[in-house]
Structures are given as C-alpha cells and as structure tokens.
Amino acid sequence: MAKITKANSVGEWLDQRLNTTTFNKVMMTEYWIPKDINFLWAMGVLLATTFGILLISGIFLLMYYKPDVNLAFDSVNYTIMQEVAYGWLFRHMHGVAASVVFLIIYIHMFTGIYYGSYKQGREMIWISGMLLFVTFSAEGFSGYMLPWGQMSYWAAMVITNLFGGVPVIGDALVVWIRGDFNVADATLTRFFMLHVFLLPLVIMALIAFHFYTLRIPHVNNQTSEEFDFDAEAEKYLSGNKKESKVIPFWPIFISKDLAVLGIFLIFYFYLVFFHYNFAMDPVNFDPADNMVTPAHIYPEWYFLWSYEVLRGFFFDIAGVKAFDIGLAAFGFANIIFVILPWLDRDTKILPAHKRPAFFIWFWILMVDLIILTIWGKLPPTGNNAWVGFFAATAFILLFVLLPIVTKIDAKKRGE
C-alpha cells in the first residue's frame, strides 16, 4: 500500500488514495494544446456537452416513455408533452440536440479533412471518430423510431429492409432483426433497448477511446506544423510561455472552448425555445399505421446525403439491378470516409489551402454533399432523379480520384 499519512485537506486525502494530482496533470493541466488553432477545434467540447445534454434529457424522457406499440405515441405526445412538468422542454432539448449534434459532428469531421488531421500518425483518431459517427447514426435512427409516428414506422421499415440486400440470408435476416414479419412491437422494444442502453454504452466507451487516441500523436494545428510537444511543454513549464508553441488544456485553452460553447448554447437554446419544430416532421404526429405509407418519406436532414446516394441509381446498368447498385453505393458512402487516411497519397500533412488540387477536391465534395442533401428531400421523379444520379456518381468518383488528386499536389511540390 502507498504511504498514507494524516491529510490536512479533502484534496490531500483524495490525492493520497486516488493520486488526483497526477491525474489532473495528465488529463488537464499538462495536457498540451497547440496555440495555433481556431474555433473549429472547439467542436470536440461542443460535442461532449451536447452528448451530456442528450444523456440527461433522455433520462427524464425515459421516466415516462412506454416502449409498447399501443402506448408509445401517447406517452410521448400526451404524457410527456402535456402532463409532465417541463416534459415539453426535455423533449425539445432532446430532439433539437439530436439534430444539432450531427451538425457539429459534420463540422468536426470536415475540419479534420480540411487540415489533414486524419493523416500519418493520426489514423486512430480518425477511425475512432468515424466509429463514433456510425454509432451516433444508429443511435439517432433508433431514437427516431420511438415516438411511433408515421415517419418513425416507415423509417424503420426502410432501414430494416436494407438488410434484405444481404446475399442469401437477406430475407431471414430482416425477419430476425425485426422479430416479426413486419415492423411491430418486438421491433420497437428491441430498438428501445438499443437506444437507451446498448448504444449509449458503446458511445461512451468510444468517446473515452477517441480522447485517448489524441494523447500520443497530439492535436493538429492550423498550419499542420509538426513539432516536439515534449520540448515545447518543457519551454512552457520553465516559464518561457511566449516562445512555447503549446498551452495547457486547463485552465488556458478551455477558456477559448468555453467561449465558443457559450455562443453555441445560445444558438442551441434559441432553437429549443423558438424553432424546436425544425427537427420534427409533421407527419410524425400521425400515429404509426402499417397499412398507409405517407405520400413522401425521407430521413432526417443529416442522413439525406447518403439516402440520396442510395436512391440515386434508379435504373439497371449493364445487367446489374438498380437496387443492388444503390445498395452497393450506399455501403460505399458509409465506409469510404473510414479509409480516407489511405486514399490520401500526399506524404505531407498540410491544410487544404496549401494543396491546390486537394483544395478544389474538398470544395467540390462540400458542394456535392449539399446537393445530395437538398435533393435527398425532393421527390425522386423526372429531373430530380437525374440530379440525384449525377450527384451520387460524382460522390463516388471523387473518392476514386482522391489518390490521384493528392499525388498531383505532392508532385507539384517536387516530391
């Protein structure tokens, strides 16, 4: 046992037993952050906060929600919204945060792509981040099902049907996932379990892992400059703060994060109180009906781009069924970002504005994703179907071309 002596303060008492001083150093006061980073690097703290809001508001909703096809709709739309004190607030905080969390994830992700933060040495940060994105997607989808409105039901129908595309066992797999021939009570209760327990648990573990992956390669910076964190930390600790390129996370860097967080929370609560319905589809205020499909169904805004890639291929090509092409393209869209570190053939880590060809590639990708998102919500008929087809094809081509694009930049610099 460690040497335990009489403590003069609560802090000292805990330090002797839990080594809190060292813990604080490693996690906070001697966790080094480059000085040269902008507000886009605050997205991590924003995400952690938003996840906290989701967790707490979710706990309050959980106390009144009933995972039963006959009770679910009213437990949300009557009990929580009308009867529970501030139930409406918890629901809107949960619903808006679920939507906003994806906005921040996308900003976080594309900041990483722009500054090359997924490259050599930081692959694990990128991969753990993409795993988080996938798990958040599953979490968002399973939560969308729970109010058991028309959109909930048909979203579940479409998503579970996707597994029918798996060769040989597809049809049986769909029945197995649903626990019924149709989306039914068994489906609701198991997705409820996933949403409130298993997936949040996985997300929390992944968040811890994502933070850990940052420890060794450290955070990137605006110029993607490589420097010796230990040497810079040494300078800082010896009092040479001006020359040192790093600052401690706590209490120096966190002040900038908290400033950005303050602005974000103003925006977030503005949405919660004045525009909460942007995240709520009116169709979902009709109770689920397995015999009537709504005239026009589409997912929440954050899935529209991949949804449009899925349905963009609406005709058979060279004897391959449109359905299979769409499914393959959808699979492609969902895994391609994970292997980004290996598609980028440029040997240097540089921000996009210092890589001319990649810079163009990046902004074409942004425009293409926005087009996919907009057209994902429009009816897939006539010209819309063709816009979807070309935008989906462009998306795939962009990633096929990425190794060439990044090689061109390296060559131009004479490497």
Q: What residues are paired with 59 via a beta bridge?
A: none
**Residue 328 binding another protein, by CB under 8 A:** no
**C-beta of 274 vs 315, nearer to another protein:** 315
Structural contact between residues 381 and 296, judged by C-beta atoms closer than 8 angstroms: no
**Residue 386 binding another protein, by CB under 8 A:** no
Alpha carbons 204 and 105: distance in angstroms, whole number: 15
Residue of 311, 287, 359 whose CA lies nearest to 69: 287
Structural contact between residues 306 and 334, judged by C-beta atoms closer than 8 angstroms: yes
**Residue 321 binding another protein, by CB under 8 A:** yes
Residue of 110, 99, 69, 349 whose CA lies nearest to 221: 349
Alpha carbons 128 and 212: distance in angstroms, whole number: 10
Mask 131-160, x = binds another protein (CB under 8 A)? -----------------------x--xx--
Structural contact between residues 147 and 98, judged by C-beta atoms closer than 8 angstroms: no
Size of the site for another protein (CB under 8 A): 36
Task: Check residue 1 and report its DSSP letter.
Answer: -
Amino acid at position 129, single letter: G
**Residue 323 binding another protein, by CB under 8 A:** yes
Exactly one of 48, 62, 175, 343 binds another protein (CB under 8 A); that residue is: 175
How many CB atoms are located within 10 Å of the residue 267 CB?
Answer: 12
CB of 394 to another protein, least distance (A): 19
**C-beta of 137 vs 222, nearer to another protein:** 137
Alpha carbons 219 and 33: distance in angstroms, whole number: 7
Q: Take residue 40 and report the two structure tokens written for it.
A: 């886009």
**C-beta of 113 vs 174, nearer to another protein:** 174
Of the candidate spans 18-26, 76-84, 169-177, 269-277, the one that interacts with another protein by CB under 8 A turns out to be 169-177
**Residue 324 binding another protein, by CB under 8 A:** yes
**C-beta of 180 vs 226, nearer to another protein:** 180
Alpha carbons 32 and 233: distance in angstroms, whole number: 7
Q: Which residues ranging from 284 to 313 are in contact with another protein (CB under 8 A)?
A: 290-297, 311, 313
Of the candidate spans 15-23, 208-216, 345-353, 376-384, the one that interacts with another protein by CB under 8 A turns out to be 376-384
Alpha carbons 373 and 365: distance in angstroms, whole number: 12
Alpha carbons 128 and 130: distance in angstroms, whole number: 5
Structural contact between residues 73 and 147, judged by C-beta atoms closer than 8 angstroms: yes
Of the candidate spans 24-32, 227-235, 273-281, 320-328, the one that interacts with another protein by CB under 8 A turns out to be 320-328
**C-beta of 123 vs 324, nearer to another protein:** 324
**Residue 161 binding another protein, by CB under 8 A:** yes
Exactly one of 137, 182, 222, 223 binds another protein (CB under 8 A); that residue is: 182
Of the CA atoms within 13 Å of residue 227, those in its CB half-sphere come to: 23
Of the candidate spans 78-86, 229-237, 246-254, 378-386, the one that interacts with another protein by CB under 8 A turns out to be 378-386
Residue ranges in contact with another protein by CB under 8 A: 154, 157-158, 161-162, 175-182, 184, 186, 190, 290-297, 311, 313-314, 321-324, 326, 379-381, 385
